[in-house]
Structure 1
């Protein structure tokens, strides 16, 4: 058996970095840009893809467009919940203002032999690849769903008309200094078993 501590050291270092990833918030500028953002998006495009359908779609929301997007989220909330429209609209505007960049991640679902769930899972895998890439490039991010991710009006605004749909939003930026403790890693034994025949 090869000595992996020497023969594969660069790969182990990459795994160390991967194992240190966690959802990051709050975020501050700078957000990824240029070649760094291209690498993050390219990582998403390397996700598993049954049937080679390439269902992943990413909509980058940055700069001044974020503020307009926050207003649109407020409009969508007013349709969903008119009684709480003002409170929700301000909550979503504030969320977008304090988030340097958003990446809406969805799947263009194609009818045929590949089940819809597998196309959505491909988009989810793309989201995870991009979160890992954000972390490995020194940025932070978080996968956010909630009512906006499932709202047909928000989906259509971003180009996801049924049966296509969002799987969520990735926040992206530089982690702000924090004194919060680092969450403990899950215990492997609580989540892994070996299958054995009866």
Structure 2
């Protein structure tokens, strides 16, 4: 395992279209989700949860997304419907990270939502540490009430991310990063 700083410095996103089998086995998935759960959580509320989409369930999700699109847009092209059918089949595993943030007497909703986002980021780093690659996506189905309910959301929940996980078929590419001088300031009195 690379040291922690090297691991963080080398994490890159690989597009879900370039993630193939094998994906994590059950023991590795359990370890990834355990690590994803080790985030700041003021009040110990656990304001997030995970939904796992794998195997044949990914194709079933795609069929249901295509049905939603077709019902709303009878003119939807075969290409658009095929895109929906394949949306959750691009990678061997998709993990939905769900925010369960709710009003609380002490913990603001914003802090609960950031805890869920931290769980998604921990998951991406853990995926990298385990030798896989991942991509954090949301796309339309995360924000559409009918699609989100079909994907497993309950009342008051929101998707933070769909983390697509698999073995990369292309080398990672870096993207331009901001200069620290553009994003860091020092407060002075």
Report the TM range for the smaller structure's normalisation: 0.7 to 0.9
- Whole-angstrom distance in 2 between the partners of 1:150 and 1:81: 18
Q: Which has the higher contact order (CA 8 A, sep 6+)?
A: 2
Distance 2:111 2:134 in 1: 24
Aligned: 1:37 with 2:23:
no
CA shift at 1:38, angstroms?
A: 1.1
Q: Retained in 2: the 8 A contact 1:59–1:104? A: yes
Superposition map of 1:63-82 within 5 A: 63-79=55-71, 81-82=73-74
Task: Report the count of equivalent residues.
Answer: 186
Alpha-carbon distance, 1:126 to partner: 0.3
Q: Is the counterpart of residue 172 in structure 1 residue 162 in structure 2?
A: no
- Conserved? CA contact 1:66–1:96, under 8 Å: yes
**Cα distance per residue 1:76-110 (max 9 Å; x no partner):** 33355554364432112223333211001111233
Aligned match of 1:147: 140
Q: Would the aligned equivalents of 1:66 and 1:97 in 2 still touch at CA under 8 Å?
A: yes
Aligned to 2:11: 21
Shift of residue 50, structure 1, vs aligned partner = 2.0
For the 8 Å contact 2:61–2:151, the answer to whether it is kept is: no
Q: TM-score, normalised by structure 2?
A: 0.88
Distance 1:181 1:141, change over 3 A: closer
TM-score by length of 1: 0.84
Write the distance in 1 (CA, Å) between the matches of 2:45 and 2:179.
36
Structure 1 stretches lacking a partner, 5+ long? 1-9
* 1:136 partnered with 2:129: yes
Q: Is the 8 A contact 2:93 2:164 kept in 1?
A: yes
Q: Secondary structure at the match of 2:76?
A: helix
CA distance in 2 between counterparts of 1:48 and 1:77 reads 38
Instruction: Give the root-mean-square deviation of aligned CA atoms.
Output: 2.2
